[in-house]
Amino acid sequence: NGFFMVHAQDNMGNFAESNVVIELRGTAVDGTCNAPVLPTFNATVPENATLGTLLTPIIENNYLAAKTYSWWNEDGMNGKFGINQTTGTVWVAKPLDYEEQKVYKMQARITDAEGLWYLIDYTVYILDVNEPPSKITLSGSSVVEDKIGAVVGTLSAVDPEGSLVTFTVSNGGDSFTID
């Protein structure tokens, strides 16, 4: 069977899309017309991977000759991963964040020189990395001189994993304390 996405558009620019399945009837010697069974690909990458980090390449064992690779279904991917059109190499194209999205499921389209193509499932699992707290702020920043015990302000910070944040004074510790 063949799976297609049909895009219909009128002269005003209005459009609709629909999935279409076409049943293929066998014409081979054995009466079948089965597409090759293609593997699925999985990759795991830490959320702090640098841009350009290579993931599992798509290798489809020469089912198609003179092939090109592209993303077919990029649902929720937002350009996070690139694909080399001639080699099938996949890489990190935009910063990743485990707390934002843990798994990306997409499909790569492999097309031969005649325009025949297959879809291959490609899933990327993002690994959580324990990141340091960020957005450290102090609600006040001045105090009356020689006012021992005066409250300067309130410290706050955000931990990406949601852990409790504690504070210590590391520079100027003789003049200030944290309660």
4-54 pLDDT, tens digit per residue, is 667 777 787 777 777 666 655 444 444 455 555 667 889 999 999 999 999
Q: In angstroms, rounded to a whole number, what is the distance separating the alpha carbons of residues 63 and 26?
A: 18
What residue spans of the chain are helical by DSSP H? Answer: none
Q: Amino acid identity of 2?
A: G
Tokens describing residue 109: 């389209």
Q: In angstroms, rounded to a whole number, what is the distance separating the alpha carbons of residues 149 and 152?
A: 9
Q: Is the pTM of this model over 0.85?
A: no
Mean pLDDT: which of 84-93, 108-117, 129-138 is highest? Answer: 84-93
Tokens describing residue 164: 């409790």
Pair 126, 96: CB distance under 8 Å: yes
H or E segment to which residue 179 belongs = none
Exposure string for 80-99, b = 16+ CB within 10 A, e = fewer = bbbbeeeebebbbbeebbbe
Q: What is the largest CA-CA distance in the chain?
A: 97
Residue pLDDT, tens place only, 115-160: 778 888 899 999 999 878 878 888 877 777 777 777 888 888 888 7
Q: In angstroms, rounded to a whole number, what is the distance separating the alpha carbons of residues 170 and 162?
A: 23
pLDDT, residue 46, reads 96
